[in-house]
Structure 1
């Protein structure tokens, strides 16, 4: 990240401390970032999708859109290295509470503070297309309904953060769908 400001350097130090990342790991992540970053200092949505399409066998467009939205923490329409590094580390974080907060933001596509059945279906469909390479509407809707029922404890057709938090701590599949590993593909 050659031309870092003092604030960026401090933020990088904070990220490396928080996630216990070595300097050599940061260099590996920087290399990966630059490899997919033709504009030099940020990944566009298109570049971000390209990274996902290289990691998974299926169509990653929709899933990568959701990940991009979650990685782009400042909402400027691009992912800089610090956002990229934080997002990657978050997917491997041992801090379950933080991971749940991050996952909730991904499920909450419209950002209204609750998760609807349509949002769960959308994410489930995107996951199937990415992992299996095809759209299986019946299977992904079945999974979405099952997940939604697990989370919507008061049956009000929306999932609050508290409901999501409680359900995610009891059922690892809720988080596993959001943090797939390329080597785990079907």
Structure 2
């Protein structure tokens, strides 16, 4: 009744995938609280593998109240953002992932950490890295040069959003993969076949 299925490129919610994730959430987290190790297991990730750092940052960004757990409401809010959020909301979420210490700024080390994690994850997943000829440090330098308007060596939320909206390359580098990341979906597909 009026429910739609998501095609690969449409913005509509895949109801079946949502229902499957809800069932898995209830099965894995009968307490209603998802801890980091459960979050990694939920998506079928090796706790120490290449995607581990990325997953930890995702977890922290989904944990809106900072209690080191994700409850079902936070989980639903995250899924809503993944499937239906506009660009600015997705950029705000990405900023939270970059801003590891939650001080309102992304510094060189935080930027490098996420870019390095993305490179390692994509390399491990054998997907094309956007600019493989650039090293992690070159990407970080280029991003800081393009986005850090006041030259203080840190990127605030306003600079982050404005920089991403003005430059397609910057947008591509800063906007983190918002689908439950491709490597997660691929991992789920592989485990479903065994």
TM-score normalized by the length of structure 1: 0.72
1:65 to 40, 56, 64: 56
Q: Which residue is equivalent to 1:151?
A: 147
Distance (Å, rounded) in 2 between the aligned partners of 1:60 and 1:53: 10
Q: Give the superposition deviation at 1:33.
A: 2.0
Unaligned runs of 5+ in 2: 1-10, 126-131, 188-194
| Change over 3 Å in CA distance of 1:51–1:23 after alignment to 2 | closer
1:100 to 61, 69, 91: 91
TM-score normalized by the length of structure 2: 0.69
Asked if residue 140 in structure 1 is aligned to residue 147 in structure 2, the reply is no
Q: Work out whether residues 94 and 175 of structure 2, in 8 Å CA contact, stay in contact via their aligned partners in 1.
A: no
**Aligned pairs, how many?**
162
Q: Which residue is equivalent to 1:181?
A: 182
Q: Which residue is equivalent to 1:29?
A: 21
In the TM superposition, 1:1-186 aligns within 5 A as 26-35=18-27, 37-38=28-29, 40-54=31-45, 59-133=50-124, 139-170=135-166, 171=168, 172-179=171-178, 180-182=181-183
Distance (Å, rounded) in 1 between the aligned partners of 2:101 and 2:151: 20
Q: Which residue is equivalent to 1:8?
A: none
Q: Work out whether residues 45 and 51 of structure 2, in 8 Å CA contact, stay in contact via their aligned partners in 1.
A: no
Unaligned runs of 5+ in 1: 1-18
| Change over 3 Å in CA distance of 1:22–1:50 after alignment to 2 | closer
The ranges of structure 1 where at least 4 consecutive aligned residues each deviate by more than 4 angstroms after the TM superposition are 19-26, 52-55
CA distances 1:12-31 after superposition (whole Å, capped 9, x unpaired) = xxxxxxx9868766533312
Q: Work out whether residues 53 and 59 of structure 1, in 8 Å CA contact, stay in contact via their aligned partners in 2.
A: no
SS in structure 1 opposite 2:81?
helix
SS in structure 1 opposite 2:105?
coil
Distance (Å, rounded) in 2 between the aligned partners of 1:176 and 1:85: 20
